[in-house]
Amino acid sequence: LVSRMRTQVDTVVTVKGVEIGGGKPVVVAGPCSVETPEQMEKVGAELQSQGIVIMRGGAFKPRTSPYDFQGLGEPGLRMLKQIGQKYGMAVVSEIVSPSDVEMAIQYVDMIQVGARNMQNFELLKAVGSTRVPVLLKRGLSATIEELIYAAEYIASRGNEKIVLCERGIRTYEKATRNTLDISAVPILKQETHLPVLVDVTHSTGRKDIMTPVAKAALAVGADGVMVEVHPEPTVALSDAKQQMNFAEFEAFMAALREGRMIP
Ligand code: PEP
Ligand code: MN
């Protein structure tokens, strides 16, 4: 179903009126985690001022350590939705459990399946049984073929509103948090008809190279990029090192606009 053999026409996924894959690159931005109403209020105002139309924010956080902040859960989704409505943005958030899908779609316009759950087949079937757009991230050690089959799981349940996301894979290289597989973008575009985003935050884990990496992603045909933005990254409850502050985000957006990479 997701294969390019089925159609030469690129699929456009519409998230609350916002098109992904329609030829106009999108920037999905927002904090790693939803933390407080004050934090979300600041983020919402900043993103709106930068013309962002899709906001991200995690409420169920798949953390490496069980002692790290696990996310606010449903109250976090409620907060995300409220700020999204106030500032006119669609919202996307990760869901980790099939049993939370029904609850979550009351709040989110797009469900994120995170890298660690790319092959959680019960979750894929659950999101496939909804008609809510899905942002499917590539697994930490997943091949491109496995990512495509994960998308097929979702589509096979009747939900074809799928956006793929390259977010870097595990290699021996330590200079970046993960190794961004830039060639995955044109390969996914060639092998499937689905839109493709690149998460420049989790792939690089480095704010100093986010702008050139985002430009590269858009240059090879990505339909947009995802970045993490936080009002005070140093005190963020997750991914404190890699989230951009507002000044950094504004410089990032200005660079993409100047390079005519985004409208
Ligand atoms: C995220 O986007 O919030 C996230 C946890 O990313 P990933 O699943 O790609 O590690
Ligand atoms: Mn993060």
Q: Ligand 1: does its nearest atom lie under 6 Å from the Cβ of 114?
A: yes
pLDDT value for 194: 98
Please name the amino acid found at residue 250.
E
Ligand 1 in reach of 94 Cβ (< 6 A): yes
Domain of 161, CATH number, reads 3.20.20.70
* pLDDT in the model for residue 154: 98
pTM above 0.90, yes or no: yes
pLDDT value of residue 34 = 98
Residue 262 lies in a domain: no
Closest CA to 205 of 237, 254, 238: 238
Mutate-to-test residue for ligand 1 from 34, 64, 116, 137, highest number of ligand atoms within 8 A of CB: 137
Q: Find out whether 80 and 71 touch, Cβ atoms under 8 Å.
A: no
Q: What percent of the chain has pLDDT over 70?
A: 100
Note whether residue 3 is domain-resident: no
Residues in contact with 159: Cβ distance below 8 Å, sequence separation at least 6, in sequence order: 127, 128, 129, 130, 131, 132, 134
pLDDT grade for 137, boundaries at 50, 70 and 90: very high
Residue 243 is given by DSSP the state: -
Task: Point out the ligand nearest to the CA of residue 57.
Answer: 1
Task: Indicate which atom in ligand 1 lies nearest the CA of residue 137.
Answer: 9
Please report whether residue 258 resides in a domain: no
- Is 167 close to ligand 1, i.e. is its CB under 6 Å away? yes
pLDDT (tens digit, 9 = 90+) per residue, 94-113? 999 999 999 999 999 999 99
What are the beta bridge partners of residue 225? 27, 198
* Cα 97 to ligand 2 centre (Å): 18
Dump pLDDT digits (tens) for 216-262: 999 999 999 999 999 999 999 999 999 999 999 999 999 999 999 99
Task: For ligand 1, pick from 202, 203, 204 the residue to mutate: most ligand atoms within 8 Å of CB.
Answer: 202
Q: Is the CB of 137 under 6 A from ligand 1?
A: yes
Domain extent for 76: 13-168+177-253
In angstroms, how far is CA 205 from the centroid of its own chain? 15
Residue 99 lies in a domain: yes
Cβ atoms of 215 and 256 within 8 Å: the answer is yes
Q: With respect to residue 249, please indicate whether it lies within any of the assigned structural domains.
A: yes
| C-alpha span between 70 and 72 (Å, rounded) | 7
| In contact, 171 and 214? CB cutoff 8 Å | no
Residue 181, domain member (yes or no): yes
pLDDT at 180: 98
Ligand 1 pocket, mutate which of 28, 94, 96, 113 (most atoms under 8 A from CB): 94
* Counted domains in the chain: 1
Confirm whether 185 is domain-assigned.
yes
| ipTM of this predicted structure | 0.99
The CA 30 to ligand 2 mean position distance, Å, reads 10
Q: Quick one: average pLDDT of 144-161?
A: 98
Q: Contact at 8 Å (CB) between 9 and 22?
A: no
Instruction: Tell whether ligand 1 has an atom less than 6 A from the beta carbon of residue 177.
Output: no
Q: Is residue 93 part of a domain?
A: yes
pLDDT digits (tens, 9 = 90+) for 6-50: 999 999 999 999 999 999 999 999 999 999 999 999 999 999 999
